[in-house]
Amino acid sequence: SFSRGSEVISVGQPCDTAVHPSARRLGIFSAMTTLALDLAKQEDIKVIFNNPNPEAALGDLRMGWRDLGG
């Protein structure tokens, strides 16, 4: 969690995701990410952040994530 003044904000960071090369381009990464985001909403997590490798970052960007730089 992060604090902003007296407000505590619940945050989350997804764990690494791997899809076997023979199963890529089938929507598995997107489905897993969507499920994780749905679960985060149920837990009232307000912010999700990630630090993906360059290949995984492409999947995040295709799903609408934003690169805030590092």
pLDDT more than 90, % of the chain: 31
Nearest to 37 by CA among 28, 47, 52: 47
Those residues with Cβ within 8 angstroms of residue 48's Cβ, 6 or more apart along the chain or in another chain? 11, 12, 13, 14, 37, 40
Percent of the chain with pLDDT over 70: 99
- Whole-structure pTM value: 0.70
Sorting pLDDT into bands at 50, 70 and 90, what band is 23?
A: very high
User: Whole-number mean pLDDT of the chain?
Assistant: 86
